[in-house]
Homo-oligomer: A and B are copies of this chain.
Amino acid sequence: MRAFTYHNPTRIEFGQGKEKLIGQYMAEYGVKKALIVYGSDRIKQNGLFHSVVNSLVENSIAYETLGGVVSNPLLSKVYEGIEIAKTRGVDAVLAVGGGSVLDSSKAIAAGAKYDGDVWDFFIGKGFPKQALKIFDIMTLAATGSEMNNYGVVTNEMTREKLSLAGPTTYPTVSVINPELQATVANDYLAYSASDIFAHSLDMYLSATYLPEYMAGYVENILKTVMRTTELLLADSTDYNARAEFAWAATQALNFTTFCGVENNRFDTHFLEHTLSAEYNIAHGAGLSIIMPAWMKWQKQHQPQRFERFAKIMFGVNGADAGIDALKTWYSKIGAPVTLKEGNIPETDIPMLTDKLQAVAKLWGAEALYTRDMITGVLENAK
């Protein structure tokens, strides 16, 4: 195993009804005034917003609100939140929603304690040394944002989708009540499964050294996601399946999978973020298109890992059979697997390659993400 540091300070409150205790959790950390960030007004119709506000009031926590966060969340909305936080004496951000809402909230929390432009943190000009306290109630399981410090936001002016992260942007308390995640539509459930798969497979299929322990650990996450996705597509009210799906999502990106591995990369996320920034498709849908295409390119670098994946996950022999089986499974659950299925014009491949090269340059990763590699993967997605 390779050397590593593991330190994840987030407290998880998992289970039915725990959102009703959010005010109590926040009061434990001395919160006086929160900015509630959310997406659509659905949470006002289904009573969640009401429960949350009640809990804050009961615990003498004042609040401001910011609704309207969208999928592939926008920098302009983050600026709006920072303005509210700065001018109205907010000391914590409470995200009520999915990964987009929480990621926006992380950016707001960091920007509220920063004199410059919060976008600095996304383009590598330092990292947030201070931030407001972050709390969340997750209504969708996918991004794992509830137990990590990453926040992904799209700058709609430049059409760049980038991330910030710092020691201060871990949530203080994350509430996961699987019941609140039970109304997700089947297509979004499939996209979520694809997102969790990508968090796991990016590492599993790229690491140049993968401890046997970690291989088994990640395979257990993948198997859980496959099993519970199928159970939930058959019966959306299956609480235990919903709960295991949610917990697998959290584990897939709380950095436990990185412990002791060498050179794990994040290729499909790197490639996908430009797709969803450009075409505003769901992140998980972009990933189910990119993943098999990337695997066809990556298999040459990790032939044994791909054979193991094929055998253990699908009981088939050989890298290609494993890739095909995953593609078939994505189709079965309703996730797109080609550019065409994602309504992405194949003729855009040269333009996308240019864009991705520019991002690679920003990351100092041009040697890894060459034109040949990027075009090759996108061509595989035809």
Residues in chain B near residue A14, CB distance under 8 A: 1, 3-6, 259-260
Do B259 and A247 touch (CB < 8 A)? yes
Asked whether A9 is an interface residue with its Cβ less than 8 Å from the other chain, the reply is yes
Do B244 and A1 touch (CB < 8 A)? yes
Asked whether A296 is an interface residue with its Cβ less than 8 Å from the other chain, the reply is no
Between A and B, 22 residue pairs with Cβ closer than 8 Å are A1-B14, A1-B15, A1-B178, A1-B244, A3-B14, A3-B15, A4-B12, A4-B15, A5-B11, A5-B14, A6-B11, A8-B8, A14-B259, A211-B244, A211-B247, A213-B248, A216-B224, A217-B217, A217-B220, A243-B260, A244-B260, A247-B260
Interface positions, chain A 1-45, Cβ under 8 Å from B, are: 1-16, 18
Residues in chain B near residue A11, CB distance under 8 A: 5-7
- Mark contacts of A225-267 with chain B using CB atoms, 8 A cut-off: 1 yes-contact digit, 0 otherwise: 0010000000000001001100110000000000110000000
Do B223 and A211 touch (CB < 8 A)? no
The smallest beta-carbon distance between A232 and chain B, in angstroms, is 14
The smallest beta-carbon distance between A144 and chain B, in angstroms, is 14
Do A213 and B247 touch (CB < 8 A)? yes
The smallest beta-carbon distance between A247 and chain B, in angstroms, is 6
Question: How many angstroms from the CA of A224 to the CA of B2 in the assembled complex?
Answer: 17
Number of interface residues of A (CB under 8 A): 35
The smallest beta-carbon distance between A200 and chain B, in angstroms, is 13
Asked whether A348 is an interface residue with its Cβ less than 8 Å from the other chain, the reply is no
Closest 3 A/B residue pairs (Cβ): A3-B15, A7-B11, A1-B243
The smallest beta-carbon distance between A147 and chain B, in angstroms, is 9
Question: How many angstroms from the CA of A1 to the CA of B242 in the assembled complex?
Answer: 9
Residues in chain B near residue A243, CB distance under 8 A: 1, 211, 260
- With both beta carbons as reference points, the residue of chain B lying nearest to A245 in the complex is identified as B213
Asked whether A117 is an interface residue with its Cβ less than 8 Å from the other chain, the reply is no
